[in-house]
Amino acid sequence: MTALTDTATARIVPRHVAIVMDGNGRWAKARHLPRPAGHWQGLNATRRVVRLCHERGVEVLTLFAFSSENWRRPTWEVGILMELFVTALKRELTELVNRGVRLRFIGDRAAFSERLQRQIAEAEALTEANTRMQLVIAASYGGRWDIVQAAQRIAEAAKAGQIDPAAVDGACFEQYLSTAGLPDPDLLIRTGGEKRISNFLLWQLAYTEFFFSDSFWPDFDAAELDSAFESYAARQRRFGRTGDQVASRA
């Protein structure tokens, strides 16, 4: 099953929603504010969207919080973003636990400070038993990095005699990605008006439906989310089959 029916709204709700949260800096610039103000407002939008997805029955929500390329930004801005992560973990963890949300981070953790790595591990452990929704934070993440690290791990397993290279297929490969055990996203939302995926979940987005919003991330609200879900519900997902084949299987 790739989607759930929200009986309260008669709307098809994607099982797994992935979001590229873009436009914090441009939101601030448009208001003649420093870029950090946009990031803090973006955190409020993140809290809002997590709650909305939880209420609508989304099973997995994956948020692109910080890409592997974002390390190229000015040092002062990276420092602010790291502090934002620490603050958000402290501030939001209790609510996530109360809502039954499991927190999971994907990305190259070695790039983070020991303090942040420790807090991430503690947050994951504290929410591990939660089953209402999975909140996946992609931080220090890149789709190419994900594929490369999976290939390296498979090569190491093959070298150790733990896996037969001839037995490596798509299903096997997916078990070595950072998203192992998660369904592929049904819907990708990108805010900020840009129409690209920016090295996000390159393998996992193969058959994902895309929705691009012109709203900057701090302005993304319930109406925008529902528009994305309505657009998704109106589409026919064929996965390589013809429309008639899909209709006959319905």
3-state secondary structure of 211: strand
Q: Indicate the number of domains in the chain.
A: 1
In angstroms, rounded to a whole number, what is the distance separating the alpha carbons of residues 128 and 156? 28
Q: Is there a domain that residue 245 lies in?
A: no
CATH of the domain at 147: 3.40.1180.10
pLDDT, residue 239, reads: 61
Instruction: Look up residue 83 and give its amino acid.
Output: E
**CA distances in angstroms from 7 to 11, 164, 183, 224, listed in the order given:** 7, 47, 22, 19
146 is catalytic: no
219 is catalytic: no
Range of the domain at 73: 3-233
pLDDT, residue 249, reads: 62
Q: What's the pLDDT tens digit per position in 133-156?
A: 999 999 999 999 999 999 999 999
Catalytic residue among 6, 24, 44, 70: 70
Full pLDDT tens readout for the chain, 250 residues: 345 544 444 458 999 999 999 999 999 999 999 999 999 999 999 999 999 999 999 999 999 999 999 999 999 899 989 988 888 888 899 999 999 999 999 999 998 999 999 999 999 999 999 999 999 999 999 999 999 999 999 999 999 999 999 999 999 999 999 999 999 999 999 999 999 999 999 999 999 999 999 999 999 999 999 999 999 999 987 666 655 555 566 5
Q: Is there a domain that residue 154 lies in?
A: yes
Q: Is there a domain that residue 238 lies in?
A: no
Q: Is there a domain that residue 18 lies in?
A: yes
Catalytic residue among 22, 146, 184, 186: 22
In angstroms, rounded to a whole number, what is the distance separating the alpha carbons of residues 160 and 4? 42
Q: Is there a domain that residue 16 lies in?
A: yes
Q: Is there a domain that residue 244 lies in?
A: no
In angstroms, rounded to a whole number, what is the distance separating the alpha carbons of residues 225 and 130? 24
